[in-house]
A and B are shown apart, each in its own frame.
Chain A
């Protein structure tokens, strides 16, 4: 079936079997390998993408369901000139260790800051409850998100 999506602002389409997940379509049909396949059952969050402003597990969503919708993946955060403030802050604070959870962590963090520009630590922890870091490096991830939120708010003010 033909599935058309808007991914990171660009119209994309692919002819995929109906049982294709959004994650598989992004990775194998559109060449966007930023979102990762981890647990494949919606626990680990490394496949997280934003669909119409809401973060979802792309391993649990059929591509067919995403048809005609607006998708943001990790590839959509930076532009050709600059990294996203979250990416800068993760880099500066060394918030990633092996990095496998990174795409999901950053997308969940973006989804949080889009709705709540200066979250508290409990709010950040709640927002990341669907993202597992097996290096267990949560402390720096939380600090990086808080720093990015502050930086973005003061830049916008």
Chain B
């Protein structure tokens, strides 16, 4: 790697100030599982690496009256080991388990995964279907937004260069919501998703309410499938209905062909995945 300076500021405020000072010659460093690889292979004009992984405001998992807060610098390994996440957001745990391998999960953070913003980010679909919000810190203080607004394009979030992702917030209404995550990859470990996705819904008097479908690796960013969701709302979850929703979800995707899979195959996977995550969510909801 080309030489750069390294700083590990103690607070978000200091980190933001440092990033603002260096402008585009500085980058924030989280777990490093993406950034260090990039720095080895595409050495740019980096002058300063600002390590934000140990900043206390970005750490920790807490249950509050409003919901569940996951610090942006919580690692996938920590999510998998968290009793609160296992109880209240098991699909975030399942999704975390599909990231890379043990060693990368112990370094890689959920916030880093979101900020890198690849369409296949494994943490995204479960957060989308749980109506997660994110808090961003900048020079003018913190702002919060729905996670949908955070994703702008491939490797592009709404973050300004000197802004940092503070935390992910799952609202109370989504904690324990029946949901399911699936990932199709070429292998179980160390594989990017061909397609990943999650479903979540409640059943009230046998009818689906608040259905959510989140899909990854099938569009420039992780997406919801709002038309398919609308088709499910208020209806009895028959196999026929779930298949119809899966048909609609396919039309809401714009997958690409690459060396991992063709667009046509990805569309088939979207259908299969959507049906399965909905079916599983219904099963979980029915057992309550």
In the assembled complex, the Cα of A15 lies from the Cα of B155 at a distance in Å of 35
B188 contacts the other chain (CB 8 A): yes
In the assembled complex, the Cα of A129 lies from the Cα of B190 at a distance in Å of 7
Contact status B32-A55, CB under 8 Å: no
A147 contacts the other chain (CB 8 A): no
Residues in A neighbouring B33, C-beta threshold 8 A: 42, 57, 60
30 pairs, A vs B, C-beta closer than 8 Å? A1-B6, A17-B3, A18-B5, A18-B6, A18-B49, A19-B3, A19-B4, A21-B36, A41-B37, A41-B40, A42-B104, A45-B101, A54-B106, A56-B103, A56-B106, A57-B103, A57-B104, A59-B36, A60-B31, A60-B36, A60-B104, A60-B107, A62-B29, A62-B49, A126-B102, A126-B188, A126-B189, A129-B188, A130-B101, A130-B104
A108 contacts the other chain (CB 8 A): yes
A61 contacts the other chain (CB 8 A): yes
Residues in A neighbouring B190, C-beta threshold 8 A: 43, 129-130
Which of B53, B77, B103 is the most central at the interface, judged by chain A CB atoms within 10 Å of its CB?
Answer: B103
In the assembled complex, the Cα of A59 lies from the Cα of B39 at a distance in Å of 12
Residues in A neighbouring B39, C-beta threshold 8 A: 19
A40 contacts the other chain (CB 8 A): yes
Nearest Cβ distance between residue A108 and chain B, in whole angstroms? 7
Of the residues B6, B102, B104, contact of A64 by C-beta under 8 Å: B6
Contact status A19-B1, CB under 8 Å: yes
- Interface residues as binary, A41-52 with B (CB distance below 8 Å gives 1, 0 otherwise): 111010010010
Of the residues B29, B37, B102, contact of A130 by C-beta under 8 Å: B102
Q: Which residues of A contact B (CB under 8 A)?
A: 1, 17-19, 21, 40-43, 45, 48, 51, 54-57, 59-62, 64-65, 108, 111, 126-127, 129-131
In the assembled complex, the Cα of A129 lies from the Cα of B41 at a distance in Å of 24
- Determine the residue in chain A with the shortest Cβ distance to B5: A18
Residues in B neighbouring A108, C-beta threshold 8 A: 102-103
Residues in B neighbouring A42, C-beta threshold 8 A: 33, 37, 100, 103-104
Nearest first, the 8 closest Cβ-Cβ pairs linking A and B are A129-B189, A130-B101, A18-B6, A54-B106, A19-B1, A129-B101, A57-B103, A130-B103
Classify chain B's interface size.
20 to 34
Contact status A65-B102, CB under 8 Å: no
B51 contacts the other chain (CB 8 A): yes
- Interface residues as binary, B149-190 with A (CB distance below 8 Å gives 1, 0 otherwise): 000000000000000000000000000000000000000111
Which of A18, A42, A45 is the most central at the interface, judged by chain B CB atoms within 10 Å of its CB?
Answer: A42
Contact status B37-A19, CB under 8 Å: no
Nearest Cβ distance between residue A71 and chain B, in whole angstroms? 13
Which of B29, B36, B37, B104 is the most central at the interface, judged by chain A CB atoms within 10 Å of its CB?
Answer: B36
| Given A45-B101, A60-B104, A130-B101: A65 in contact with B32 (beta carbons within 8 A) | yes
Residues in A neighbouring B107, C-beta threshold 8 A: 56-57, 60-61
Residues in A neighbouring B53, C-beta threshold 8 A: 65
Contact status A129-B102, CB under 8 Å: yes
Residues in A neighbouring B288, C-beta threshold 8 A: none
Residues in A neighbouring B36, C-beta threshold 8 A: 21, 59-62
- Determine the residue in chain B with the shortest Cβ distance to A58: B103
In the assembled complex, the Cα of A85 lies from the Cα of B232 at a distance in Å of 56
